[in-house]
Structure 1
């Protein structure tokens, strides 16, 4: 991949880790959770010459994560999250479309699917952490292992873009006093040259269980993921995924 590399991801992690004051959790804590996202997808993909807009069906996508927070000074906390990003659709082309050497003429009934599922590896620090407000800041390396397929009755073409995408990571949580409710926002975003990746979500949590052994949080939120790629293994895209989600989180 020309613009996004693992080396840049590592450099960003090191830079933020050394420049940010180290705030750690008062005790060891493990967070594990999952979300079900009702995603609506639209946009374009292909080579730079021809990129018509495509329509996709709504999909139920899963996301799972685990995070470790600790009291060790200077060392960042760590989080791993896997995100499904798989959509499919079909339409009659209104213009000629060239997809990696395969030409599909206007009027062709084209079926297509895009899978940009990826895993986030995040290192972050807690800059604030109290009963009312918490703020995390760090960096994420997104590992994309994708698959794009375009097919008609006469031919089919598949490509498998993969690579590392570094992003800045932040999360803000604000507790509502005298209630078991918390509002929160999370962001992973980067803009490099003509490429841009933005992953935002906002939501509210309700804690039906809170004790010494485990806390349980129920989540309701909205997520937006913008994927503008400029040459990820030759793939160009301008895709938007958005929709509501529900989730559950366990804190041990």
Structure 2
């Protein structure tokens, strides 16, 4: 919540100063998305993951990007995404989590409160009405809390973790001049040792307001995030979140 308030404050301050100048000095892009995601995978305190069946959830994502005309200084984008969900499993073997040990055949419930914040520095390699290409680096902060509860005895265990993962970032967009229609693909990727993380989305866009003061664009597409992590604050996880999303972007 603090991160979302920070983004809102930044938008309010910067939007006032940049509205009159459009993109002549500073361009501001702010967006919000609703994501209907399915979840698969599991987690543990070691390499022996417990696999859970998760419920589909609708979560949110917000972003703010600042673009300028100084070639040597990268542009900045911050993305905040929620991945909260619930699930359960019948254990096939002994599972240790927190200070609790759960035996095989235990009916275990879980509550995942997971979020990521992407701090992206990028350069515009190409930018015109037909195509744009951005490349850069991303420091993805993964912040989460996993709760497991024995559905019969209500014995619970909680583990939280927080860490940064360096990733490569890219975005490719195409537009049809004079129509407001476009398409883009955007993602961050990492594969190192036994860990790999990917986070990408593809979408169709329609700009229904285009003026000197403000542009408004609708988005509809598909997003997928895969977290295969080894020992972030002692947490091991292999989770995949994917599904359709819809959003809106404001450009000052």
Instruction: Assess same fold via TM > 0.5.
Output: yes
Contact 1:50 1:98 in 2 (8 A): no
The answer to whether the Cα contact below 8 Å between 2:47 and 2:236 also exists between their aligned partners in 1 is no
Tell me how far apart the structure 1 counterparts of residues 188 and 125 of structure 2 sit (CA, whole Å): 17
Matches within 5 A, 1:88-127: 88-127=86-125
2:195 alignment counterpart: 195
Task: Output aligned runs, 1:38-49, within 5 Å.
Answer: 38-49=36-47
| Whole-Å separation in 2 of the counterparts to 1:27 and 1:129 | 16
Residues 1:74 and 1:52: Cα distance change in structure 2 (over 3 Å): same
Who is 1:37 aligned against?
A: 35
Q: Check whether the contact 1:229–1:238 (CA below 8 A) recurs between aligned residues.
A: yes
Normalised TM-score (structure 2): 0.87
CA RMSD in angstroms, aligned pairs only:
1.4
1:242 aligns with 2:242: yes
- Partners of 2:84 and 2:177 in 1: how far apart? 39
Report the equivalent of 2:155: 155
Give unmatched runs, 5+ long, in structure 1: 1-24
What is the alpha-carbon distance in structure 2 between the residues aligned to residue 26 and residue 141 of structure 1?
A: 28
Offset, 1:75? 0.4
Q: CA deviation at 1:49?
A: 4.7
The alignment partner of 1:82 has SS state of strand
CA contact (8 A) 1:41 1:239 kept: yes
2:63 paired residue number: 65
Alpha carbons 1:46, 1:100 under 8 Å: kept: no
Deviates more, 1:216-225 or 1:104-113: 104-113
- The structure that is strand-richer by fraction is 2
Residues 15-34 of structure 1: pairs in structure 2 closer than 5 A? 27-34=25-32
SS of equivalent to 1:186: strand
List, as ranges, runs of 4+ consecutive aligned residues in structure 1 with deviation greater than 3 Å.
none
Q: Which residue number in structure 1 is paired with residue 73 of structure 2?
A: 75
What TM-score does the superposition give when structure 1 sets the normalisation length?
A: 0.87
